Chain A
Amino acid sequence: MSSTEQGTSSAAPAEPTTAPESAAAPEVPESFYYVHGKDKVVHKVSAGALQHSALIHGMISNLGYTEEQAKANPFPFENIDGDILQMVVDWCNQHKGKPTPPEDTNLPKQKEKLFDLVLAVNYLEIKELLTYCCKQVAMMVKGKSPEEIREIWMIPTDAEDEAAEKEAKKRAGKEAAGETAAAAGDAK
């Protein structure tokens, strides 16, 4: 719609300013967008909730989609499991338009999902949730000994690292030798 059609051209008469100062500004209808994860289940999320994600906020800020266009073009996040995306969407909805308190009780608690959640949140660039999730990861090893930490965070010992490194070198050597042999065969 052009500015003339909106009636804001210089020729248009000025709007009377009789409204009392205390009158509330008319509410702008909230716009919604749609996202889906690996499971293709589509989630409807308000633009306000999506502001938490720097990635999505950047994507939608210049789109100007109508409701229909948004519905027809959900943002695909094929690298995020459906249940993880659901958690993220829930969190964004719960924190729409407000900052996260230092001790957020509305956060996903499932430890078994934490790894995927951290990766998804990192990808979607949701800074506050990322900080919380990383805090949860860090809390897993609070008061633990190195042996316990190795178990919780699946950290190989030096000997295991060395063995894996040797194995990788061996494999790389074999592959290189295989490639050389194949190249020699091709040459014949």
Chain B
Amino acid sequence: MPIALLKFPTDLRREVFQQCDPFQLYALSKCSKRTQRSIKLGGTRNWKLQFWGGNLIVASVDGLRYKFGKTENPDEYFKTQHAGRYVKYMGIQWGDAFNMFFYLLETFRIRVVETLGIYYGNLEKFLNAARELIERKIEVEVFHIEDTSEVKDMEKLMRLLNQMNISQKFTCFQKFSSNFHHNLEKFPKEILIHYSFWFTIDQLLECSCVRIELYGSTLSNQDIDLFLQKWKSPGSFPNLRWLQIESENIDNKSPILGMIPPIEHNHPPRTRVSLGADSSILNPVGVTKEDGTVGWMKVELATRSTLKFLVFNPIAPRI
């Protein structure tokens, strides 16, 4: 028995749209221009989108994932299927992936992008997307730059980074040219940077992250000593819970907090401090902040030596 939805008063239509899932709303948006306009009356949704520049866009809704996948086969258009317990898939037709991303963002009135990853596509499109997200003041929870040769001149994108609202995590696996410089001015909760030679001690000293992971760093014993000396003073780096630096410039030539690397607790009993599976240190040395907070540190020497530093801090946000 059909129902004339468009004859419903606006507030009722909005109520119905609120009960629709992303697949229903998308199909509805394709019914007519009028329904497309009508859907937007539904207000802002707390849904989130994930996009990596390719042929898949994921909408996250209350623990469920709705995957929109590109298909060229008309028989598969709007066909839905379960792709796991909490995952559903719908094949749809689209031309440009970025246009589809913004179409869904607009249609669903989404304010938060869960993950924006750069894996495929061309830089111009990512630049436009970044500008658009900045202009719309859309929060990006996780921004990931893959080490991809497909996207050229990534440096240009990095210039927009400080204007983007990245809230949870920034990961960068891109290998920039040796003369690359960039100064991160705003920090999300976590940063993870490979080939991090460009992330200088000055930036580290300004960093407000909960978790910092720097690989391929050029930071030296002196830099790390400077950082830890600053950490020891009360009120410094109140958020910090995990710092990991892998650098070719960590050596046994100069002290870090008065200790020459390698730095570890050599005497029994063996101890392990941990914040989780990927954040643990075996036989660390305790370091006490002036306010009594205890940090645990270990420095291992290798071709690329590594500092691991963990802080148990009940005040800092969880990671």
Q: Which residues of A does B touch, CB under 8 Å?
A: 111-112, 114-115, 118-119, 122, 130-131, 134-135, 137-146, 149-158, 161
Contacts and interface: CB of A to CB of B under 8 A. Distances in A.
Interface in B1-55: 1-6, 8-9, 11-12, 15-21, 23-24, 27-28, 30-35
A77 B303 CA distance: 83
A161 B34 contact: yes
A154 B28 contact: no
Nearest to A153: B5
Among B5, B33, B77, chain A packs the most CB atoms within 10 A around the CB of B5
Contacts of B77: 145
B12 A118 contact: yes
Nearest to A138: B19
A138 B24 CA distance: 8
Interface of B: 1-6, 8-9, 11-12, 15-21, 23-24, 27-28, 30-35, 77-78, 80
B9 A134 contact: no
B245 to A, nearest CB: 49
A59 to B, nearest CB: 21
Contacts of B15: 122, 130-131, 134
Contact of B32 (A112, A130, A150): A150
A134 B19 contact: yes
Given A138-B19, A141-B20, A153-B4, 14 more contacts: A115-B4, A118-B8, A119-B12, A122-B11, A122-B12, A145-B77, A146-B31, A149-B31, A152-B3, A153-B31, A154-B4, A156-B6, A156-B32, A161-B32
Contacts of B28: 141, 146, 149
B24 A142 contact: yes
B249 to A, nearest CB: 58
B68 to A, nearest CB: 15
A145 B33 CA distance: 16
A140 B3 contact: yes
25 contacts: A115-B4, A119-B12, A131-B15, A131-B19, A134-B12, A137-B3, A138-B16, A138-B17, A138-B19, A141-B24, A143-B23, A143-B80, A144-B27, A144-B78, A146-B31, A149-B31, A150-B31, A152-B3, A153-B4, A154-B5, A155-B6, A155-B35, A158-B32, A158-B34, A161-B33
Contact of B27 (A112, A130, A135, A149): A149
Contact of B31 (A134, A135, A143, A155): A155
Contacts of B24: 138, 141-142, 144
A129 to B, nearest CB: 12
A118 B9 CA distance: 10
A151 B28 CA distance: 11
